[in-house]
Amino acid sequence: MNSFQDQLSALEKYEKKVYEYRLKEANILLAIGEIYLDEDDPEKALENLQEAKKLYQKIEYSAEEAYTQDLIGDCYRAISNISKAIKHYEKAFKIYSDWGYLQKNEIKDKIQKLKKIDSILKKNQKVKTSFSAIEVKPTESTYHRPYKSNFQKDGKDKINSGAGKPLEKDSEELTDRLDELVMLLDQSGLYSIYSKDPNSIEIFKEALKTAEVIEDWNTQGILHLMLGDSKLKKKNTEDALKHFNQALEMFKKNSNEKGEAIALLLMGAVFFFIDREEEMYKILRNSLQILKEYNHKKEENLALELIKLLSS
């Protein structure tokens, strides 16, 4: 009898040791994966996180498995494998939900945003609607704004959509990306020289007057993008949107599809800052479809980077 008890006790100790060993190994692999992910090496992070996940599953450690599934989703997102990212986020969400963890809300938000991106990337049909500029005409005291019914005005006649997003949020990385987009257009080389000039807006306005006199639509479009970008950096979302709309109109007149798509991308950035996600995704989808249709690969890649940045 004692022999059986001893054997049972020895087996329990062995199982406990195995459990502790696997847990320790899984924790080490998880930590290594996090380090690689922090160092922007998602491929190496994946190798370690996948092994950690298997060990957590073996020892049925649900909380750490969910966290690892979340990180695996981050890795796939970083390498633009959206479908696999969603798959692992959903696994994390299920575990968090089953056990009542609060992290489920954060994961749910990630899933929703990625599914919106996925719908943009999978939409291969031709654009059936015209990409004509959204009319922006000055009146005595205000503008006819795009998607006007979705906005309200505050006392200063600025676009207001509730709380909105502060321009400080990831603004440096985002404005750098927007500058890159403007620089992709022909004749925009001088923007890198003058954009940091304290008098840049006045310089662009004077150049715009000349372009208007000679009816140079393309140059007008580029200058409106530069003015809009400058206004956005100064947190003036209303004037930025007005200039981007005018740029869109000019590029349409000159049949400049690349300019048209870039103007739409910049408008999407404005909608991000004023917290109008539906309009943002609609405009970004239209832009991406134009770039695909006219085979502008470099611009398309930058557009995808911008979409991921705005959705993060």
Q: Give pLDDT tens digits for 192-220.
A: 555 666 777 888 888 888 778 777 888 88
Place domain 148-311 in its CATH homologous superfamily.
Tetratricopeptide repeat domain (1.25.40.10)
pLDDT digits (tens, 9 = 90+) for 233-242: 888 889 999 9
Mean pLDDT, rounded, for 45-60: 93
What dihedral do alpha carbons 237, 241, 244, 250 form, nearest 10°? Answer: -150
Under a CB-based contact definition with an 8 Å cutoff, are residues 71 and 79 in contact?
A: no
- Closest Cα to residue 231, out of 218, 216, 217, 246? 246
Please check the confidence at residue 137 and state whether its pLDDT lies above 70: no
- Closest Cα to residue 144, out of 268, 266, 246, 65? 246
Task: Give the residue with greater pLDDT, 136 vs 265.
Answer: 265
Tokens of 25: 């190994």
Q: Using 50, 70 and 90 to split pLDDT, how confident is the model at 122?
A: low
Mean pLDDT, rounded, for 246-269: 90
The domain segmentation of the chain, as residue ranges, is 2-122, 148-311
Task: List all residues 6 or more positions away from 66 whose beta carbon is below 8 Å from its beta carbon.
Answer: 91, 92, 95, 96, 99, 101, 103
pLDDT digits (tens, 9 = 90+) for 77-89: 888 788 899 999 9
Mean pLDDT, rounded, for 45-73: 92
Looking at the chain, list the stretches that DSSP marks H as alpha helix, in order from N- to C-terminal side: 2-38, 42-58, 62-78, 82-99, 103-122, 171-183, 191-194, 200-213, 217-233, 237-253, 257-273, 277-293, 297-311
Mean pLDDT, rounded, for 254-268: 90
Q: Using 50, 70 and 90 to split pLDDT, how confident is the model at 40?
A: confident
pLDDT above 90 as % of the chain: 22
Domain 2-122: state its class. Answer: mainly alpha
pLDDT digits (tens, 9 = 90+) for 5-31: 656 566 677 678 878 888 899 999 999
Q: Which amino acid is at 312?
A: S
pTM of the full predicted structure?
Answer: 0.52
pLDDT digits (tens, 9 = 90+) for 139-184: 332 222 232 223 233 333 333 333 344 444 456 677 777 877 777 7
Residue 182 CA, chain-centre distance (Å), reads 18
Q: What is the pLDDT of residue 6?
A: 57
Q: Using 50, 70 and 90 to split pLDDT, how confident is the model at 125?
A: very low
Q: What is the mean pLDDT of the chain?
A: 76
Residue in the structure block whose two tokens are 């190496």: 44
Please check the confidence at residue 127 and state whether its pLDDT lies above 60: no
Please check the confidence at residue 93 and state whether its pLDDT lies above 90: yes
Please check the confidence at residue 297 and state whether its pLDDT lies above 80: yes
The answer to whether the 2-122 and 148-311 domains have the same CATH topology is: yes
- Highest mean pLDDT range out of 69-73, 169-173, 274-278, 286-290? 69-73
Q: What is the pLDDT of residue 304?
A: 83
Q: What is the pLDDT of residue 75?
A: 93
